[in-house]
Structure 1
Amino acid sequence: MSDPIADGVVLEFREVMSRVCTPVAVVTAFDGERPHGTTVSAFTSLSMTPPMVLVSLDRGSDLLAIIRETGTFGVNVLAHQQADVALQFARKGADKFDGVDWTADAGLPRLTGSSGWLACTSESLVDGGDHVIALGNVVATGHTSADPLTYHARIFGTHRALEIAS
């Protein structure tokens, strides 16, 4: 039976979290020669020394199983014009890379045009509710000058510096 208080907390939690501006990234890996990827918004830096990040993946994710097996993953920080890529990688299916420009970089799929790129080795996988947190050691990087894609209030946008009067 459902707990109405807990249900209310879950709904309110979703509303609160929708107000947090998050980066939009596609986490990628290879299953043999076949690229896999999924859109995430739970991604952040963890450590500067050594350089580390964390990403949160659904427990049922096919990509998570590949990361468990290979011990590597890429993080493509999407650029503001890549909302269509975010949506494509957010759905289920084996055809997510159809029509998407990408290359292999540091042994991982790298999406062309992304704002930033990180290649990682998996340090550890930590259970966290209905997700698993992948802690990654950053072994290769790259970036462009493109503004990042962000997600806030259930819509895509970007971040630009405010002009503050002196």
Structure 2
Amino acid sequence: MASVPAPVTVVTTAVDGIPSGATVSSFASLSLDPPLVSIGLIEGSRLLRDIRRSRRLMINLLSHDQENAALQFASRAEDRFLGIGWTWESGLPKLDGVASYAECVVESDLPAGDHAMIFCKVLECRLTDTPPLIYGARKFGTHSHFMPA
């Protein structure tokens, strides 16, 4: 499955004013009415624990030039936000310079092997003209014919 291209997101949340986040490539759009998306997170991760507490999250779809942010949020660094531009948006961490972002609330949380599937309702979404970052065949890139809507 590593050869299947996927969007690169950094999913963020906050508990008691402390931000947490991780790089997530298991992200998909599910429904327009109501607007639903899904993410897959490994059981036992700090991000999953924090999302289960807060029940809210921000999906930051990285832009084509944010490979370093993807790598930093995929690392085991204690403070993954260090040196990354971000702001609070509706009480959630939103990364600067992303291609798009969506503020979400958890609708359901289901076990899926060693992961959990989190189904979220999109409350707010913003798009830019910036091409997104994708990951496939263990390489970062962007769609060769990306044309913003």
Same fold by TM-score greater than 0.5? yes
Give matches, 1:127-138, under 5 Å. Answer: 127-138=111-122
Please tell me whether residue 79 in structure 1 is matched to residue 63 in structure 2: yes
Please tell me whether residue 96 in structure 1 is matched to residue 80 in structure 2: yes
Is there any run of 5+ residues in structure 2 with no aligned partner, and where? none
In the aligned structure 2, how far is the partner of 1:91 from the partner of 1:19? Answer: 21
Output the amino acid matched with 1:70: S
> 38, 42, 55: which one pairs with 1:58?
42
Rg (Cα) greater in structure: 1
Output the amino acid matched with 2:76: K
> After TM superposition, where is structure 1 displaced by more than 4 Å over at least 4 residues in a row?
none
> 130, 133, 136: which one pairs with 1:146?
130
Output the amino acid matched with 1:109: P
In the aligned structure 1, how far is the partner of 2:120 from the partner of 2:91? Answer: 15
8 Å contact from structure 1 (residues 38, 63) kept in 2: yes
In the aligned structure 2, how far is the partner of 1:56 from the partner of 1:115? Answer: 20
- Aligned twin of 2:106: 122
Is there any run of 5+ residues in structure 1 with no aligned partner, and where? 1-16
Partner secondary structure for residue 161 of structure 1: coil
Output the amino acid matched with 1:24: V
8 Å contact from structure 1 (residues 28, 35) kept in 2: yes
More helix, by proportion: 1
Output the amino acid matched with 2:66: Q
In the aligned structure 1, how far is the partner of 2:128 from the partner of 2:144? Answer: 15
- 1:13-40 per-position Cα deviation (integer Å, ceiling 9, x unaligned): xxxx122110000000002111110001
In the aligned structure 1, how far is the partner of 2:76 from the partner of 2:35? Answer: 31
Identity of aligned residues (%): 42
Partner secondary structure for residue 87 of structure 1: helix
In the aligned structure 2, how far is the partner of 1:120 from the partner of 1:114? Answer: 16
In the aligned structure 2, how far is the partner of 1:53 from the partner of 1:103? Answer: 23
Partner secondary structure for residue 18 of structure 1: coil
Equivalent residues, number: 146
